[in-house]
Amino acid sequence: MILRNISYKNHEIKHELENLVGKPFGWIERWRMGGIGSPRMLVLASSADIEKLLAVNNHQRFCSIELRPRGVILAFRSRLETYGLIIPYRNLSVFKSDESLRVYSGSHFIRLDLSKTNHSTHRFLSRLMTYKSSVLQEEAMPL
């Protein structure tokens, strides 16, 4: 739900990311999960804030998704900078059709093209939804 420039090592932004979506998975967890990153996907449309950043590029606009323990980071490039849309699982809404994937969080959204994707993209999306539901179930359980 937060849009940040994640190009450089900034301890304040790193701390903010870890508070919202958790620390990155370790190597063993990544291997057990079958990977935590999506293949890059073409951005078809986005909210105004993201569109301003993507409009300055002359290249095709791509986005990738990284799983974290308590959320996801949607990363995309604008000129020489890398930006991330940081979304906790409780604020993440995903709608998939045959042709596109729509990711919503508050006032931000990104619509991604799925028409030319391969099997690994669909495997990643099912892994994302499974992991999201398990995390939300754990959060909902009373102690």
- Which two structure tokens, joined as six digits, stand for 9? 């090592």
3-class SS at 107? coil
**How far from the centroid of its chain's Cα atoms is residue 90's Cα?**
13
Domain spans, the chain:
2-134
3-class SS at 89? helix
On whether the 2-134 domain is CATH 2.30.29.30, my answer is: yes
- Contact criterion met (CB below 8 Å) for 77 and 85: no
* C-alpha closest to that of 9 among 80, 78, 82: 82
Q: What is the pLDDT of residues 95-134, one digit of tens each?
A: 988 888 999 998 889 999 987 777 888 888 889 998 899 8
3-class SS at 8? coil
Q: What is the pLDDT of residues 58-100, one digit of tens each?
A: 778 899 999 999 999 999 988 888 999 999 999 999 998 888 8
Residue 11: pLDDT over 70: yes
Residue 121's alpha-carbon distances to 88, 99, 111, 117, in angstroms, are 21, 13, 15, 6
Measured between alpha carbons, how far is 31 from 17 in angstroms, rounded to an integer? 22
**Is the pTM higher than 0.85?**
yes
Residue-wise DSSP of 12-23: HHHHHHHHHH-S
Q: How many other β-carbons are positioned within 10 Å of the β-carbon of residue 114?
A: 18
Measured between alpha carbons, how far is 3 from 74 in angstroms, rounded to an integer? 9
Q: How many other β-carbons are positioned within 10 Å of the β-carbon of residue 122?
A: 12
